Amino acid sequence: MNDCIFCKIAAGEIPSKKIFEDDDILAFHDITPQSPVHFLVIPKKHIRNIMELGEGDILLVGRLLNKAQELAVSLGCAEKGARFVINCKADGGQTVDHLHVHVLAGRPLAWPPG
């Protein structure tokens, strides 16, 4: 995906504040944080959104969520909690078409969403 921002971040072509990286997953701070803690966890593989997950991606998605949890704990969010969000397509508020899990924490977050 040549024109995908998150593929470029995963390839190191666009800089990011990385929190974690392995062969399959990257976590980095959101460029426009909406809370004191706001980072994104992405697969390096280009998957457009959660609607396009296949059965072959089950293990990868499990690892994404596990890493989101692990990093939230390491950033001090275990006691007060966090919000784990996956926006999908236009009505879901997705603006970058590469699957990502938002982790937001560090302040009480309102519900329902706007």
Q: How far is the CB of 20 from ligand 5GP (least distance, A)?
A: 14
Question: Residue 28 binds what, of Zn ion, ligand 5GP, none (CB under 5 to 8 Å, by partner type)?
Answer: ligand 5GP
Side-by-side strand order, sheet with 83-85: 18-21, 25-29, 37-43, 101-105, 83-85
As a whole number of angstroms, the distance between CA 10 and CA 98 comes to: 11
Does 37 participate in binding ligand 5GP (rule CB under 6 A)?
A: no
98 is catalytic: no
Interaction mask 94-113, ligand 5GP, x per CB under 6 A: xxx-----------------
As a whole number of angstroms, the distance between CA 18 and CA 92 comes to: 25
